[in-house]
């Protein structure tokens, strides 16, 4: 073979291998994938139809996709010029709705719509109801029950401010004018007093409103707001507001909306912010993900305590026991790898997934107690399960069935013991644990021996009972029972008396 041909074939082979995301990594098990056709804007994970498994709700450019927990399509809904989605039980019926906002500007004229889609993918409400478009672009949305009637109003971010759409979805109940586009909205109880506040932000301004749309407080960052996190990260009462500016400066405000730590810049090119309780003291640490690694800040948020560099963009930062060893690790995606590092920032393991990770989500989608790994790469969604977690889960279940079988065996519940040991054998075979399969089969032989012995003993007892009944029936004919004379005995005496009387009558007639 010529060098040229060999080079061409090698290049084709490399391309083919690089296009496969189901990698050769033995630790990850590929569950499924789905192509949404365009870039992914947002991903929600929630149980919208109350079937005890989480659904994956994905917003692309013009379509909302809802996937099952195995990455198969449940339903999809087309929404042109999609801006944002939100998931909420808007009518308090126990099932979630998917809220969709859309819009665009044509010749300086805004056009937009808002949709409420039920858990089966059907349109429930649309704003406006009669006209094809409203005069707003719905840049951001959030749902909350503003008046405690059990139905959710929708808080909308427009180019002119914050508006509250009534729970009838036909008109607005209030508005707060900002004269700048509201790109983000959330609802949180910042002060910890049981009353929620509306947090809205534009490019450079943060607005905090009460549920009636009355402004409480505001804060400006001239270089622009990149990220907002609200969580309890200090001993001070209430939650803190963490602001990351466009220039990666960190601002931390308390629930009184005061800067409680000097603003500082510790890391460049921040892409992710996560708050996790790493040491179990009830207070969360701040972990930053950047274009080259993960950084764990100290308790005063003015210094990097630990770090792990990857030289690739970091997406998604979680704290979870992914490998089933009983210890939580910091999990994140970077480049084509999922990294697992200790709380001190040391590498514990990493998993190759074949393509660049744009988004990473860890969720227990099937409620089995173990995290599933959801990856967005380009226009595709991939779902993985950690094999070590799966094997650990199966082994735990097998051990429980084995212990149950032994317990049932010891108290003489042999049928229950047999059912449990069959499950233990099945699970140990599934993970290829031959030694434990043999141990279970040994116990099964003992169980089956006891079952056979018990059946024989029961058969003998039944025969004895039948024989005893027959003997008693025969004796009852001739014997006097404890409660008096048997019917047969009385009848016999009566018949004897009748015969004697007849004989006497015959003798009298002859005389």
Provide the CATH number for the domain around residue 457.
1.20.58
Q: Are residues 398 and 339 in the same domain?
A: no
Domain termination residue (choose one: 378, 404, 438): 378
CATH number at residue 364: 2.130.10.10
Residue 246 lies in a domain: no
Q: Are residues 276 and 369 in the same domain?
A: yes
pLDDT at position 478? 53
What is the overall mean pLDDT for the chain? Answer: 88
DSSP H or E run through 309: strand 304-309
SS3 assignment for 125-184: EEECCCCCCECCCCCEEEEECCCCCCCCEEEEECCCEEEEECCCCCCEEEEEECCCCCCE
Backbone φ, ψ for residue 149 (5° rounding): -105, 5
Residue 68 lies in a domain: no
Number of separate domains in the chain = 2
d(CA 342, CA 408): 41
d(CA 205, CA 224): 8
Q: Are residues 358 and 462 in the same domain?
A: no
| Residue 446 clears pLDDT 50, i.e. is over it | yes
d(CA 134, CA 132): 7
Q: Are residues 281 and 373 in the same domain?
A: yes
pLDDT at position 367? 82
Backbone φ, ψ for residue 171 (5° rounding): -160, 170
Structure tokens at 63: 């379509």
d(CA 436, CA 254): 56
Q: Are residues 335 and 418 in the same domain?
A: no
Residue 250 lies in a domain: no
Domain termination residue (choose one: 378, 404, 426): 378
Q: Are residues 432 and 363 in the same domain?
A: no
Residue 425 lies in a domain: yes
pLDDT, tens digit, 9 for 90 and up, residues 32-54: 999 999 999 999 999 999 888 89
Q: Which of 214-218, 370-374, 376-380 has the lowest mean pLDDT?
A: 370-374
Residue 366 lies in a domain: yes
- Residues 6+ positions from 116 with CB-CB distance below 8 Å: 90, 97, 98, 99, 123, 124, 125, 126, 169
| Residue 12 clears pLDDT 70, i.e. is over it | no
Q: Are residues 274 and 371 in the same domain?
A: yes
Domain assignment of residue 408, given as a range:
393-469
Q: Got the DSSP string for 434-494?
A: HHHHHHHHHHHHHHHHHHHHHHHHHHHHHHHHHHHHHHHHHHHHHSPBTTB--HHHHHHHH
SS3 370: coil
Q: At what angle do helices 414-430 and 434-478 cross, to 10 degrees?
A: 160
pLDDT band at 5 (very low <50, low <70, confident <90, very high): very low
Q: Are residues 361 and 312 in the same domain?
A: yes
What distances in angstroms separate CA 164 from CA 126, 181, 485, one per listed residue? 15, 15, 94
| Residue 3 clears pLDDT 80, i.e. is over it | no
Q: Are residues 367 and 405 in the same domain?
A: no
Q: Are residues 366 and 414 in the same domain?
A: no
- Asked if residue 321 lies in contact with residue 301, where contact means CB atoms within 8 angstroms, the answer is no
pLDDT, tens digit, 9 for 90 and up, residues 392-407: 778 888 999 999 999 9
Residue 42 lies in a domain: no
- Asked if residue 425 lies in contact with residue 442, where contact means CB atoms within 8 angstroms, the answer is no
Residue 168 lies in a domain: no
Q: Are residues 349 and 441 in the same domain?
A: no
- Asked if residue 9 lies in contact with residue 15, where contact means CB atoms within 8 angstroms, the answer is no
Q: Are residues 366 and 302 in the same domain?
A: yes
Domain termination residue (choose one: 352, 378, 404): 378
pLDDT band at 490 (very low <50, low <70, confident <90, very high): confident
Residue 455 lies in a domain: yes
| Residue 299 clears pLDDT 90, i.e. is over it | no
């Amino acid at each position: 073979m010529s060098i040229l041909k060999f080079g061409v074939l090698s290049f084709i082979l490399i391309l083919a291998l690089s296009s496969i995301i189901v990698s050769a990594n033995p630790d990850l098990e590929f569950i499924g994938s789905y192509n949404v056709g365009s870039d992914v804007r947002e991903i929600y994970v929630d149980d919208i139809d109350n079937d005890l498994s989480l659904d994956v709700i994905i917003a692309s450019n013009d379509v909302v996709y809802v996937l099952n927990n195995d990455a198969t399509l449940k339903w999809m809904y087309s929404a042109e010029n999609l801006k944002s989605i939100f998931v909420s039980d808007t009518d308090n019926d126990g099932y979630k709705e998917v809220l969709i906002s859309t819009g665009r500007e044509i010749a300086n004229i805004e056009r937009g719509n808002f949709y409420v889609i039920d858990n089966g993918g059907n349109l429930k409400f649309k704003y406006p109801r009669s006209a094809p478009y409203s005069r707003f672009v719905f840049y951001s949305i959030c749902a909350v029950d503003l008046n405690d009637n059990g139905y959710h109003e929708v808080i909308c971010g427009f180019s002119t401010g914050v508006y509250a759409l009534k729970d009838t979805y036909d008109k607005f109940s209030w508005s707060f004018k900002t004269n700048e586009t509201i790109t983000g909205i959330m609802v949180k109880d910042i002060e910890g007093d049981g009353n929620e506040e509306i947090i809205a932000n534009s490019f450079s301004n943060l607005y905090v409103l009460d549920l009636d749309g009355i402004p409480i407080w505001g804060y400006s960052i001239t270089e622009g707001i990149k990220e907002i996190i609200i969580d309890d990260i200090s001993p001070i009462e209430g939650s803190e507001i963490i602001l990351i500016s466009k220039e990666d400066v960190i601002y931390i405000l308390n629930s009184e909306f005061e800067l409680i730590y000097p603003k500082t810049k510790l890391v460049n090119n921040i892409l992710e912010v996560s708050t996790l309780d790493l040491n179990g003291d009830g207070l969360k640490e701040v972990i930053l993900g950047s274009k080259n690694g993960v950084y764990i800040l100290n308790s005063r948020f003015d210094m990097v305590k630990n770090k792990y560099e990857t030289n690739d963009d970091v997406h998604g930062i979680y704290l979870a026991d992914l490998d089933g060893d009983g210890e939580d690790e910091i999990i994140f995606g970077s480049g084509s790898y999922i990294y697992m590092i200790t709380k001190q920032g040391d590498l514990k393991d990493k998993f190759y997934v074949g393509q660049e990770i744009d988004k990473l989500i860890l969720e227990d989608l099937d409620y089995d107690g173990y995290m599933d790994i959801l990856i967005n790469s380009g226009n595709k969604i991939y779902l993985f399960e950690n094999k070590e977690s799966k094997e650990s889960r199966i082994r735990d279940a097998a051990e429980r069935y084995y212990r149950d079988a032994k317990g049932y065996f010891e108290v003489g519940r042999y049928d229950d013991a047999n059912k449990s040991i069959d499950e233990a054998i099945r699970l140990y075979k599934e993970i290829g644990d031959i030694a434990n399969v043999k141990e279970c089969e040994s116990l099964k032989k003992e169980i089956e021996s006891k079952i056979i012995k018990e059946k024989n003993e029961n058969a003998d007892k039944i025969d004895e009972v039948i024989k005893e009944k027959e003997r008693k029936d025969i004796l009852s004919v001739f014997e006097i029972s404890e409660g008096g004379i048997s019917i047969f005995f009385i009848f016999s005496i009566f018949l004897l008396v009748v015969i004697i009387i007849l004989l006497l009558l015959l003798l009298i007639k002859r005389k």
